[in-house]
Chain A
């Protein structure tokens, strides 16, 4: 065996790659082809036929424009909320937490250790109309006596924000942590105020983290359906809910497949535009 590697050193990388790449080819790339194949079929379950049914795509888009729009809106707002909430926290961890740094990083990833669905359900307890949060907001008259927080756009966006927060915080931390403190000292020596030093040194240097965090938050958030299903009403339905229901409940596979394709296509286009803007090296590492 080792003499084989000796005689064919150029083959070694391919042998190492083969099993994993084969798995990804068969169970990631080939399924995408099947998704395309399914999306151009017509008929009713279980008799679908491949008929180049491009109208699936136009129908999918015209029937579910509101859900697409909502998905990107909610994902976008949640991404912004994550960035604003995470940046100061991560900044503090990177520069001010001293020996407790790793402990605070653990706090950031801790939500991941609670099953996704269960931690989303916890917001039902927290935001419940009988709960303390709503009670307090009613007492200070932010909410009327019969108003609540659950089953609303606010609840869905809050849920998404909470669930994807670590995806924003971790890349932000990595980029902030790499900043050489001497650069900040230099800025101070050159009479920059701390605001100026932040805006002209820290913020630009953390840009790769902002880029990575934005993508890692936005992409899964746009396809999410759990928050809308558990914390929202049909008025908050996102595209993920539609795809899921069409595959598993109404068994309309071609429509579900074309919706999935549109979602992926939109995200890929957004990704390419974003890559153009910030440079592709930062995306694939």
Chain B
């Protein structure tokens, strides 16, 4: 009798708190899906309006479906050149920045040296400086040394390598920290010299990190507007082209190019997620 009387309110509290935590858990799930919807909304709009057939100059209101702009994506003057410039700068800057950044990461993780904290600071500062200041200061350098630098393709390239390097260092460094040095020692014990060890052991092991860093670098480069715009002179990358177009009216071809870039990027990223997922499953199977 007494036990029942003592237990029933507690059971009720248990039920209430379970109901409460149930509601709370689902509220959070509902919120998560809403938030994802918020993040996806502009992307959906960009893709949707690449299929729009606008009446008049403005592509703001949905008028009707067409594939015309996907077929004639380069029928707007300058867009083709701008896209090609973006890709060229992106590839070139990514290759150079990945090489420079990986070497810095190797030095920081592997070696004790004087000036280490200064180096860390120099890597950190460009990431902590607003883009407009990075772009503006570089522009003052170029404006005051016109004998050496003329604004254009190469100044964009220089700027991109400069702001990408730090991100490469951070990405590769994160991977190197968990790296088993015994593998390299083993290679050396077996008679390989430093270069062979680096080529046959170190490089293959850090290659995935370098690839991830390079993809990030390319994404940063192809997306950059502020630094590029300040240092481009008359040269147009895709974002600079969009800026010019936005002052008058944005043709649907801009949505087409942006959608195409998005689709390529998301495919690569999804591939990576699936690859990781399968890798995780495999290692789970082993242990």
B57 to chain A, nearest CB (A): 13
For A5, A12, A13, A23, the residue with the greatest tally of chain B CB atoms inside 10 Å of its CB is: A13
A194 contacts the other chain (CB 8 A): yes
Q: Does A253 contact B (CB under 8 A)?
A: yes
A104 and B32 within 8 A (CB): yes
Distance of A244 Cα from B222 Cα, bound (Å): 20
- Asked if A119 and B239 make an inter-chain contact with CB atoms under 8 angstroms apart, the answer reads no
In the complex, B194 has a CB within 8 A of chain A:
yes
Number of A positions contacting B (CB below 8 A):
91
* Distance of A95 from chain B, by nearest CB (Å): 9
Q: Are B111 and A13 interface neighbours, CB within 8 A?
A: yes
A147 to B121, CA, bound (A): 49
Say yes or no for A267: interface residue by CB 8 A criterion. yes
The contact string, 1 if C-beta is below 8 Å from chain A, for chain B 27-55, is 01101100110111111011001000000
Q: Are B137 and A260 in contact (CB under 8 A)?
A: yes
Nearest neighbor of B158 in chain A, beta-carbon distance: A27
Question: A264 — which chain B residues lie within 8 A by C-beta?
Answer: 129-130, 133
Q: Is A126 an interface residue, CB under 8 A from the partner? A: yes
Interface size class of B (residues with CB under 8 A): 35 or more
Report the bound CA distance from A25 to B38 in whole Å. Answer: 41
- Determine if B143 is an interface residue (Cβ-Cβ < 8 Å): yes
Contact of B230 among A37, A128, A244 (CB under 8 A): A244
Q: Are B138 and A27 touching (Cβ within 8 A)?
A: yes
Contact status of A267 and B130, CB under 8 A, knowing A20-B104, A92-B29? yes
CA distance A176 to B169 in the complex (A): 24
Q: Which of B64-72, B202-210, B266-274 contacts A (4 or more CB under 8 A)?
A: B266-274
Residues A110 and B239 in contact, CB atoms below 8 Å apart: no
Contacts of A10 in B (CB 8 A): 113
In this assembly, does B187 line the interface, its C-beta being within 8 Å of a C-beta of chain A? Answer: no
Q: Tell me what chain B mostly uses at the interface: helix, strand, loop, or mixed.
A: helix
Asked if A117 contacts B129 (CB within 8 A), the reply is: no
CB of A113 within 8 A of CB of B262, answer yes
- Among A205-244, those with CB < 8 Å from B are 215, 219-220, 222-226, 230, 240, 243-244
Q: Which of A34, A162, A225 contacts B140 (CB 8 A)?
A: A34
30 contacts between A and B (CB under 8 A): A2-B195, A10-B113, A16-B103, A17-B103, A21-B122, A23-B165, A24-B162, A28-B126, A28-B138, A34-B137, A85-B38, A92-B29, A92-B32, A102-B276, A109-B269, A110-B40, A110-B269, A112-B219, A115-B257, A118-B258, A119-B42, A119-B43, A122-B41, A130-B60, A194-B21, A220-B130, A240-B130, A248-B229, A257-B136, A260-B136
Q: List A residues at the B interface (Cβ < 8 Å).
A: 1-2, 5-6, 10, 12-14, 16-17, 19-21, 23-25, 27-32, 34-35, 37-38, 85-86, 88-89, 91-93, 96-97, 99, 102-104, 106-119, 121-126, 128, 130-131, 162, 165, 194, 215, 219-220, 222-226, 230, 240, 243-244, 247-248, 253, 256-257, 260, 263-264, 267-268, 271, 283-285
